[in-house]
Structure 1
Amino acid sequence: MDLIFDDDHHDVTIKWSRPVELTAKGVPEHENELLYLITAHGDGAEKMVYVGQAYSQPVAVRIAQPDHIKKQREWAQRFPGHRFKVRRGLVSLKQGKISVKKINSIEAVLIYCFDSEHCMNGKARFRAAISGHYEISNTGFKSGLPRRLGYGFYEHR
């Protein structure tokens, strides 16, 4: 893919961690793990249910907050008998600095790209305010996310 307009372009790499059980105790912390992916495991399949960002706190702190605990109860009701796991996304930019605006935009692109029957990010999906053009490479244990995706004006040659 070649970008048609070069302004406000962000080349992003996300290295997804190995999945761990969705408990605050089971989630190690790393400074640039600013995104996370929740999956449900059961019935011999893995379902991606949630993408979130933890810009201002570690992922372990974010998933232990009351609003997130409420979401986890909803997931347990929707997917009875499933275990839930979390992957943390280590974010790096080829150029520029990481900012809350960029992380919010990257989160929105990821949510939009895995819009499925299992997606539990309804509010964020329908009010995304993505600023700029993004080329995102997903590496590591990326679950069902595509290896590479783009948001903006690209042409395929």
Structure 2
Amino acid sequence: MILELLKTDITEIKVDAIVNAANTSLLGGGGVDGAIHRKGGKEILEDCIKIRNRQGGCNTGEAVITTAGNLPAKYVIHTVGPVWNGDKEEKSKLLARCYENSLNLAIENGIKTIAFPNISTGIYHFPKDKAAQIAIKTVKDFDKIAEIEKVIFVCFDDENYQIYKEILEIE
């Protein structure tokens, strides 16, 4: 498995699946979620509405999969990260579950290349350094990681990019 780090817009990446830092409603929001829904078009929203009608949204730590609509990816895996407040150990476990459940969905759907944003580090206020450590450790320790060919961590801002670069020890 190849681990890659990019500082770019996740909606521009050509991979089998990009991961969306969604909210429980699955109906779009701000940040990466809003960008994915805007650029992906109504097909993504229509799939999300079907999922809501079937199961009532997506709980924190869980993940669901939809088409990628107009995006260069084939699929969007929507996962709901935790809001940082109170029980820090519980929030860390929930964030790790976002990555685990996204990777499990990827394997179930034959996805070989996947791109992750910095889940929960925007309006959900998860500390960026802690979130990066959880993301990288969870991906590296994932028991079926050999079934994935490439994982890309996509950072939109310089701060996250530098944190990931240091943890991954990239020159």
Alignment TM-score > 0.5, same fold: no
Which one has the bigger helix percentage?
A: 2
Task: Give the structure with the higher percent strand.
Answer: 1
Higher relative contact order (CA 8 A, sep 6+): 1
Query: Rg larger in 1 or in 2?
Result: 1
Q: With the length of structure 2 as denominator, give the TM-score of the two structures.
A: 0.31
Tell me the TM-score normalised to structure 1 length: 0.33
